[in-house]
Amino acid sequence: MRGLMQAQPLTTSSILEHAERCHGGQRIVSRMVEGPIHRCSYRELAARSRRLANALLSLGIAGDDVIGTLAWNGFRHVEAWYAVAGLGHVLHTINPRLAAGQLAYIINHAEDRAILADLSFVPLLESIADQLPGLRDVIIMTDREHMPATSLRSAHCYEELLEQSPASLHWPALPEDTASSLCYTSGTTGRPKGVLYSHRSTVVHALSVCTPNVMGLGMQSVVLPVVPMFHANAWGTIHAAPMAGSKLVLPGPSMDGKSLHELITGEEVDVAAAVPTVWQMFLQYLQDSNQRVDCLNRVMVAGSAVPRSMIEIFKRKYGVTVCHAWGMTELSPVGTINHPGPEERSMAEQEQLALRCKQGRFVYGVTARIVDDEQRELPWNGASAGHLQVRGPWIAASYYKETGDHLLDEDNFMDTGDIGTIDANGYLQITDRAKDLIKSGGEWISSVELEGHAMDHPDVALAAAIAIPDPKWDQRPILIVKLKQGHAAEAEDIREFVARRVARWQAPEWVTVTDEMPLTATGKISKLALRHRYSHPVQSVD
């Protein structure tokens, strides 16, 4: 028997319409590329998104056209998201931190018909324009006054287009499985691959992000996604905040400690999201400038493992709860998040802290399992480590245009490429990426664990463990660290500090201190670059 409920499609335009009608006065605050702070309401966002949609139609955008954005987190970028997807086209968020060759590759692979670009990225686009044969229009996201002289053909001024376009438009009724947006993985482990989200996956994911066990957003929340809209959809906040009626605060291009602190205290942000390297800088700023962040209640931290010291310092010194999360571009991106559960009430503080360092519980909608090399399922006992596999309504089934590359096995699970344990309460702990594991004397050594210990050293700002070839043991771990500003620990001190915390055979062979840690386009340490740099080890402390 079939249910008798309405089959109303879940589309992103329904979020915008809801925000306009029910939270019309709620604010969006953006630090603009041009400098000043800009304020508008969800009512204005909805009207301007309709104007932009009309402008896009007048440029001849139609059918399955893909429209790229090269932009920071700001109100115009939000308008672009809703306008393009609302019309039924595909919004492609391009990561401007990619190398020029990779940028051209993904723009051509996605077949971007037009690109909306912030002023900051006009020179970048100019430098690769001759490699982009399919690109017809560029819309520069600024007003007439700031419009630059440009060699780009068919460059339009965003605000001029909006002025010339009417604000009336009925969003088309779209099947909910229509593609809404496209985001390429940053290529940390190889060639970038496109994840093509649907309206349904986006809306269902945003509903989950609002819930208390994920970000816990409501009308009283003030949300700051520092994580860029071009990195895994700013973790769902751009759809979740209007859905919940939360105030949305957008940092634009300024993600340094001082700018973030100004924005957080000035706008009374209570929940903010960013990768660990950003929070590391932020904590350093708070410490150096002796500032407080009393309004900030919790920070969402994901993208790579959160060091224990970060969780401790945020809580003890600033009263801020760190919610450690795990996700992937392929998961829209939320997979797990760490909030204290009822079973922790009777736990000692140190035990609770150890639990906070894990990546957290799977959110409803993400079904998970861990398997061994032979695909046998492993128990959830917190000790058995295996390949993490997931399935659910906001998880990719295949990559864009990679027809031979199906992601799913016969049970519809996707292998994440991560290795982890899951405990009896459903807490995931990532121990490694499959290709980052270090195999020494037939035993696996977790690079994440070594990095975590190194990061607990008071002088260490960033740490990466990689394998180097070893004639006797096959591989041995080494540690590369970057020190905090003004700190001067010796490499050997750090090696001993880590060695005291692990089994003897797991201790790093040697530690090297570097001033320049290579980062990927999503702000993670690039192990690819480090492996290249240290493939012929020359530096040793012992």
Which residue numbers are catalytic?
A: 185, 330, 439, 444
259 belongs to the binding site for ligand ADP (CB under 6 A): no
On the CB side of 148, how many CA atoms lie within 13 Å of its CA?
A: 18
Part in contact with ligand ADP (CB under 6 A); list of ranges 42-50, 66-74, 281-289, 302-310: 302-310
Give the phi and the psi of residue 468 in degrees, each rounded to 5: -120, 150
Residue, CB closest to ligand ADP = 186
Structure tokens that stand for 277 in this block: 């390297």
| Residues β-bridged to residue 223 | 248, 271
Pick the closer one to ligand ADP by CB: 205 or 324: 324
Using the minimum distance from each CB to ligand ADP, give the nearer residue, 189 or 514: 189
Based on the shown chain and the rule CB under 6 A, indicate whether residue 375 belongs to the binding site for ligand ADP.
no
Cα 357 off chain centre by: 19
Cβ nearer to ligand ADP, comparing 190 with 486: 190
Q: Residue 329 interacts with ligand ADP (CB under 6 A)?
A: yes
**Beta strands at 414-422 and 427-433: parallel, antiparallel or unpaired:** antiparallel
Residue found under tokens 């740099």? 533
Separation between Cα atoms, residue 311 and residue 307, nearest integer Å: 7
Interatomic CA distance for residues 15 and 244, integer angstroms: 9
- By rule CB under 6 A, what string of x and - marks binding of each residue 212-241 to ligand ADP? --------------------x---------
Q: Of the listed pieces 69-77, 216-224, 323-331, 473-481, which binds ligand ADP according to CB under 6 A? A: 323-331
- C-alpha–C-alpha distance, residues 135 and 94, integer Å: 14
Q: Name the residue nearer to ligand ADP (CB basis): 302 or 513.
A: 302
* 507 part of the interface to ligand ADP, by CB under 6 A: no
Rounded Cα gap, residues 168 and 252, in angstroms: 28
The residue from 359, 389, 447, 475 that contacts ligand ADP (CB under 6 A) is 359
C-alpha count within 13 angstroms, C-beta hemisphere, residue 446: 23
Taking the C-alpha atoms of 115, 116, 122 and 124 in order, what is their torsion angle to the nearest 10 degrees? -50
Q: What tokens does 172 get? A: 């088309």
Nearer Cβ to ligand ADP (232/462): 232
Name the minimum Å distance from CB 190 to ligand ADP: 9
Of 11, 181, 304, 446, the one binding ligand ADP (CB under 6 A) is: 304
Of 142 and 359, the one with the shorter C-beta distance to ligand ADP is 359
| Structure tokens that stand for 62 in this block | 């139609």
- Binding ligand ADP (rule: CB under 6 A), the pick from 73, 198, 208, 416 is 416
Least CB distance to ligand ADP at residue 437 (A): 12
Selected from 41, 108, 120, 189, the binder of ligand ADP by CB under 6 A is 189
User: Does residue 95 belong to the site contacting ligand ADP (CB under 6 A)?
Assistant: no
Residue 193 CA to its chain's centroid (Å) = 15
Helix (H) or strand (E) holding 90: strand 90-93
Of 162-170, 184-192, 241-249, 282-290, the segment contacting ligand ADP by CB under 6 A is 184-192
- DSSP secondary structure code for residue 129 in this structure: G
In whole angstroms, give the CA distance from residue 293 to residue 368.
36
Residue 227 exposure: Cα atoms within 13 Å on the Cβ side? 26
Instruction: Tell me: does residue 98 bind ligand ADP (CB under 6 A).
Output: no
- Degrees, nearest 5: CA angle 146-149-150: 120
Using the minimum distance from each CB to ligand ADP, give the nearer residue, 188 or 512.
188
**Locate tokens 């966002």: which residue?**
45
Three-class secondary structure of residue 279 per DSSP: helix
User: Which helix or strand (DSSP H or E) is residue 75 part of?
Assistant: helix 75-87
Rule CB under 6 A: is residue 357 a binding residue for ligand ADP?
no
DSSP state of 188: T
Among 326, 362, 394, 534, binds ligand ADP (CB under 6 A): 326
Rg of the Cα trace of the chain?
Answer: 23
Query: What percentage of the chain's residues is helix, strand, coil (to nearest 5)?
Result: 35, 25, 40
**303 near ligand ADP (CB under 6 A):** yes
Applying CB under 6 A, which part among 34-42, 139-147, 185-193, 501-509 lies near ligand ADP? 185-193
Q: Closest approach of Cβ 181 to ligand ADP, in Å?
A: 15
Q: Does 429 bind ligand ADP (CB under 6 A)?
A: no
Interface residue with ligand ADP, options 328, 370, 422, 445 (CB under 6 A): 328
Residue 302 interacts with ligand ADP (CB under 6 A)?
Answer: yes
Residues in contact with ligand ADP, total (CB under 6 A)? 24
Q: Which of 196, 272, 299, 305 binds ligand ADP (CB under 6 A)?
A: 305
Q: How many CB atoms lie within 10 A of CB 312?
A: 15
Token pair for 252: 């634009």
In the bound complex, what is the minimum distance in angstroms from residue 332's beta carbon to ligand ADP? 10
Does residue 188 belong to the site contacting ligand ADP (CB under 6 A)?
A: yes
Residues forming beta bridges with residue 222, ordered by sequence position? 247
Task: Check binding of 524 to ligand ADP (CB under 6 A).
Answer: yes
Positions that interact with ligand ADP (CB under 6 A)? 185-186, 188-189, 232, 302-305, 324-329, 333, 359, 416-418, 430, 433, 522, 524
